[in-house]
Every structure is written in structure tokens, then in C-alpha cells.
Structure 1
Amino acid sequence: MKTDELIALLARDAGPVPTGVGERRFAAALVLGILAALAWVQAAFGLRADLPLLMTTADFWQKVAMPLAVAVTGLVVVFRLGHPGARVRGWWLGVWLPVSLLWIWAAAVLWMAEPAARMPLVLGTTWRSCVFNVTATALPIGIALLWALRGLAPTRPTLTGAAAGWLAGAVGACVYSLHCPEMAAPFVAVWYVLGMGLSAALGALAGRHWLRW
């Protein structure tokens, strides 16, 4: 039996579904995941001492602009993937466009920098740990999102898991930025994106098993 036929069979005798259940489940999962990620960053690394002042600067918001934009559009994509038949094709542009713009910006920064300064702009001082730290910060968010998705009806579990992991990676990158001392666009364009990508890969693997029904 095909998935769509099974859904139709199950829904034939079902009563009306209360409105907003999926939205509330997603909101609860996201809030719990973010709180857990914040607790992890605070316990493992500590927040930046200059964070209140830093958050008043343009540099900070330029740093988090990409993961914030990915998170906003990614939330829509993930939620729609949790509903059979929902279209997501047009939303993928919103997921990848912020990353593409960041890469263009990072390339421009490197092009204008002195040759000797280019490698430090890419590596910073924390490149060895950044990918792991972003992925670890995203982990509780990803678990919470997968829990929320299990209450829906995703028909593409691997893709849905990957999208949830990408979203978790973006939100995790925002949370980790509250500790991260790096501010250069080339650093964010390489290591933050790699951390988000690893989170997406883990989400795809988890979704393949946890979201199957």
C-alpha cells in the first residue's frame, strides 16, 4: 500500500483535528531545545563577558545574520515537510540564499585583505573546535525537533531529518555565537556552515530511522 493511500485510509474515519496542535508542538520543541542548548553553552564554555555590549554592534548581527535567516526559512521548510503533500520547493531558496550571500561576502573580505591576513581570517583561533561545538550545541535542538516531527506525518523521513538537522544547526550556531570569540565573515562562512552541515547529516541519519512509520 502506498503512503498516500494509507494516510487516506487512516483519515477516513478520523474526527476533526484540533487546530494549532502541530504549531504548539513545534514551538514547545524549539523553546526546550534552545534552552537546553543555552544551558550547554553556559556550562561548557560560558557566555562572552562583553556580550551585552557586543550585541549592540553591527559586527555581531552581521555574524548571526546567516544562521538567523536560515533558521527562519528552515522552520517553515521543516514544518511543511512534516505534513504530507505540502509543497516546499520554493522555500529551499530561502534556506540556501543566506549561505550563498555569506560566501560572497566572505570572498570579498578575503579579496580585500592583505595576503598574509587571509589565512588568519579563515582559521581564527578556534577552527579546530568550532565545527564540533556548533554541532554539539545543535544536538538538543535537533532531538527536540525530531520529537515534534514524530507527532506529525512526514513521508520523506531522511529529507525531513536532514532539514531538521540543518535548522537545528542554524539555531545552534546562533546560540554558540554567544560564546564564540570569532567575528570574521570567512571564519563563519567555513566553520559555522560545516557545523550546520554535520548537524544536517546527523539529522538525515536519525530521521531515516526515527521518522519512519
Structure 2
Amino acid sequence: MKTDELIEALARTPETATPDRLYRRLALALIVGLFLGLVLLRVFMGFRPDIGVAAPLVAMKAGFSAFIATFAGGLALRLAKPISGATGTIRRLATPLGLVILSAIAIGLIALMATEPGYRFAAFAAGGFPWCVILIPVCGLPTALLLVWAMREAAPTRLALAGAAIGALSGGVGAMVYALFCSVDSVAFVTIWYVAGIGFAAAIGAMVGGRLLRW
């Protein structure tokens, strides 16, 4: 039996996680992961002091992160199941997420160019190292671990890609959590560095996905 035939057989087998069961596990992973991420933020970092006044800006940053997480979630949901060697299918699934990310970066660069030259560095990097690139994956770590638990039963076959999708999804959730701490609200900072943090989480997921998702 060829590899693609084996994968198709696995996709049809009754032992493979049913869609309803998979959806429930993924939903549970996202809800509990978000809650645990908020707990980590509250214990180790705290919420931004002016969160009440800045609530609309925080909501926009969290909504932007959730928007990316939604596209990453659709990709992760498909990659959770066995997929044969159809590269075109993967490309069609990943294209919407890629377009959203590129559009966000383009908006950030346009906003940066529209900023007065003397304020560009502050708008771009908040005057220092953009720690959100590291802290976003950290805030999304509980979600990432729970998503691995949720997806292992579904028998994914593209492990590195599935790991990257988990990383992007958990990174989006982590960015939602981080938005409650982050005091930088410039469009350029959020669209560029939040995306970089989510991308870093996706890269980590791709590197460890083969090991953690193996079944």
C-alpha cells in the first residue's frame, strides 16, 4: 500500500477522532488555554495600569490578534486530520492566513511612513527592544500545549505544518492575552511586532511539531 493510500485509509477509519469530538477538544483547549494565559499574565506581569481608560485600544489589539488566530485556527483544524500528498491543498489553506499577515505588515509600514521622522523609532519599537516577540509565545504556551493534546488524537500527518499552525493559533491567543499588558498602542508596533511574535510561535511549533504530534 502506498503512503497516500494509507493516509486516506486512516482518514476513513472509525478510530480517527470524529469531527464533533475534535471540535470539542479544540474548543476546550482554546478556552482553557486563554484562561491559563490570563492567569500567567496576572501573576507574573499584571495588567496595564490604565486598562480601564485604554479599554478601546486594548480591545482593538486583542481583536486584531483574534482575527489572525481565526485564520490560523482554520488551518490547524484541517491539518489536524490526515492529508495525502496534495501540496495544492495545503497552499490553498495557508494562502488566506498569509494574505492577512502580509496585509497587517503592509498597514504597519504605511502607518510608520506616515509618522513624523522624529517619532518613527518610538512608534516602531516603543523606544527599545520589542519584548512582545518573546512574551506573546510565552502567553500562548498553555494554549499550545493543550492544542497538541487536542490534535494528537486526530492523527495529523503533516506534523511540521500542523505544529506551525498550532504555534500560529496559540500565538494569536497569546497576543490577545499580551494586549492586556502592553502599553504601546501605535499601529506600526502592533501590526509588525505582534505578527512577529505570532510568527515566532509558529516557527517554534514547526520545529517541535514533529516530535510532539507524532502518533
User: Into which bin does the TM-score normalised by the smaller protein fall?
Assistant: 0.7 to 0.9
Alignment correspondent of 1:82: 80
Matched positions, count: 211
In structure 2, the residue corresponding to 1:51 is in which secondary structure? coil
Alignment correspondent of 1:47: 47
Counterpart among 56, 61, 68 of residue 70 in structure 1: 68
Residues 134 and 169 of structure 1 are in contact (CA less than 8 Å); yes or no, is this contact kept in structure 2?
yes
Alignment correspondent of 2:200: 198
Alignment correspondent of 1:167: 169
Residues 66 and 98 of structure 1 are in contact (CA less than 8 Å); yes or no, is this contact kept in structure 2?
no
Cα displacement (A) at 1:96: 2.1
Counterpart among 188, 197, 206 of residue 186 in structure 1: 188
1:8/1:185 CA distance change after superposition, 3 Å: closer
Alignment correspondent of 2:179: 177
1:13/1:37 CA distance change after superposition, 3 Å: closer
Identity value in percent = 34
1:169/1:126 CA distance change after superposition, 3 Å: farther
Residues 83 and 153 of structure 1 are in contact (CA less than 8 Å); yes or no, is this contact kept in structure 2?
yes
How high is the TM-score relative to the length of structure 2?
A: 0.86
Alignment correspondent of 2:146: 144
Cα displacement (A) at 1:115: 0.8
**C-alpha separation in 2, matches of 1:176 and 1:76:** 22
1:126/1:26 CA distance change after superposition, 3 Å: farther
**C-alpha separation in 2, matches of 1:97 and 1:10:** 32
How high is the TM-score relative to the length of structure 1?
A: 0.87
**What CA deviation, in whole Å up to 9, does each residue of 1:142-197 have, x standing for no partner?**
11111111011111001100111011111101111011111012212332222112
Equivalent position amino acid for 1:124 in 2: A
Cα displacement (A) at 1:29: 1.1
Residues 157 and 207 of structure 1 are in contact (CA less than 8 Å); yes or no, is this contact kept in structure 2?
yes
Residues 75 and 165 of structure 2 are in contact (CA less than 8 Å); yes or no, is this contact kept in structure 1?
yes
Residues 48 and 182 of structure 2 are in contact (CA less than 8 Å); yes or no, is this contact kept in structure 1?
yes
Unaligned 5+ segments in structure 2 are none
Equivalent position amino acid for 2:91 in 1: R
The root-mean-square deviation of aligned C-alpha atoms, in Å, is 2.5
**C-alpha separation in 2, matches of 1:172 and 1:52:** 20
Alignment correspondent of 1:26: 26
Cα displacement (A) at 1:32: 1.5
Unaligned 5+ segments in structure 1 are none
1:120/1:160 CA distance change after superposition, 3 Å: same
Cα displacement (A) at 1:16: 9.4
Cα displacement (A) at 1:201: 1.5
**C-alpha separation in 1, matches of 2:192 and 2:13:** 51
Cα displacement (A) at 1:64: 3.3
Equivalent position amino acid for 1:110 in 2: L
Residues 73 and 91 of structure 1 are in contact (CA less than 8 Å); yes or no, is this contact kept in structure 2?
no
